[in-house]
Amino acid sequence: MNSVKNLLSNHQALTGSLRILTGATDSGKRAVYLSGSPEGFRLLANLLNAQADAEENDFTKLERDRGDLFFTTTDSVDVLEMHSHRPVHHAVLS
């Protein structure tokens, strides 16, 4: 988590540089929509790399209310979680 915090701290100027939305396609399939500046995508890639290098079973939770998601637009998701372990099936939220 320290690597993620360092990345966020070093990129405060990237406010609103990435949009992360969830939704459904016209055919009803679940989808994640990403759009943004090259710098916003690089920050996301670096955050994912930091998570990939984290200890086994570590996770990072970034929350809008805490100011962690400053790099996303205000209409983006309110929580972004990254987990460092094999994915397991979760119930789908409706």
* Number of domains present in the structure of the chain: 1
Cα–Cα dist 77/69, whole Å: 9
Please check whether residue 86 lies inside any domain of the structure: no
Please check whether residue 49 lies inside any domain of the structure: yes
Confidence class of residue 67 from pLDDT cuts 50, 70 and 90? Answer: very high
- pLDDT digit string, tens, across residues 36-56: 999 999 999 999 999 988 887
Please check whether residue 24 lies inside any domain of the structure: yes
Total-model pTM: 0.86
DSSP per-residue string spanning 22-33: EEE-TTS-EEEE
CA count, 13 A, side-chain hemisphere, 71: 28
Please check whether residue 84 lies inside any domain of the structure: no
Per DSSP, the three-state class of 51 is helix
Per DSSP, the three-state class of 66 is helix
Range of the domain at 47: 2-79
Please check whether residue 47 lies inside any domain of the structure: yes
Confidence class of residue 88 from pLDDT cuts 50, 70 and 90? Answer: confident
Please check whether residue 88 lies inside any domain of the structure: no
